[in-house]
Amino acid sequence: LEGSLLTQPWASVCLGESTFLAKACFRDTGYILLISDLSSVWYESTDAEAVGQRSKELNKRLTVHVSSFLHHLCNLMRPLLAGQPDAATSFSCHRAAFGLSLHVKSELSGLPFYWDFHCRPAPVEVVSRHLVRPLIRMSLVLQYQVQQLTSLLLQKDAEIEDYRESGATLSRDRLRTEPFQEKMFQQNFMAEVRSGAS
């Protein structure tokens, strides 16, 4: 489950008035849910036995196999994580000092279906593995791409300048561009980022 969760993308989900990032993985053996508001990260990892026990407490009228229960939970969460929540299923959350509870209300076999995800603060290693390390890796990749594009732009400017010195002229003046100024570009970009963040 933990390995499979690493391959799942983060999704933006709206629960009431709050927006979270979430990812989840469901199997016949249990599930893992990871959810964050970018200030805190919460986590629940539950095996089939615990799911069976909780389902008996929450859904006394339902008698289905635990694997069917987990499959149904997966089908309820999938549209939410895809940004297309099912109107027949309601989600709500409650924050507390000990963690975050996600409440689900739907139907199964024509009967009311309830589920509570009990998420506790995620261990540091889980946060690092699923959030910090991927973000750092992506940041490094983007920095490398910017360096490559900057180098390519400077080469293109040198090529254009060589054409101009050889007497070449533009057939359409609207295509004329100013030489790329790396320092000015970075300053303007950072100014836009700061204004967007504020």
Q: Is 50 helix (H, G, I), strand (E, B) or coil?
A: helix
CB 9 within 8 A of CB 38: no
pLDDT computed for residue 185 by the predictor: 86
Quick check: 50 pLDDT over 90? yes
Question: Could you tell me which residue, 159 or 17, shows the higher pLDDT?
Answer: 159
Q: What share of the chain is helix, strand, coil (3-state, %, to 5)?
A: 45, 30, 25
How large a percentage of the chain has pLDDT more than 70? 99
- Give 122-176 pLDDT, tens digit per residue: 999 999 999 999 999 999 999 999 999 999 999 999 998 898 889 888 888 888 8
In the structure encoding, which two tokens stand for residue 194, read together? 């700061």
Question: Quick one: which of 90, 88, 91, 89 has its CA closest to 35?
Answer: 91
In the structure encoding, which two tokens stand for residue 53, read together? 């026990």
Quick check: 14 pLDDT over 80? yes
Q: What is the 3-state secondary structure (H, E, C) of 119-148?
A: EEECCHHHHHHHHHHHHHHHHHHHHHHHHH
pLDDT computed for residue 192 by the predictor: 86
Full-model pTM? 0.76
Give the other-Cβ count within 10 Å of 108's Cβ. 20
Indicate the average pLDDT of the chain.
90
Cβ neighbors of 72 (< 8 A, separation 6 or more) are 64, 108, 113
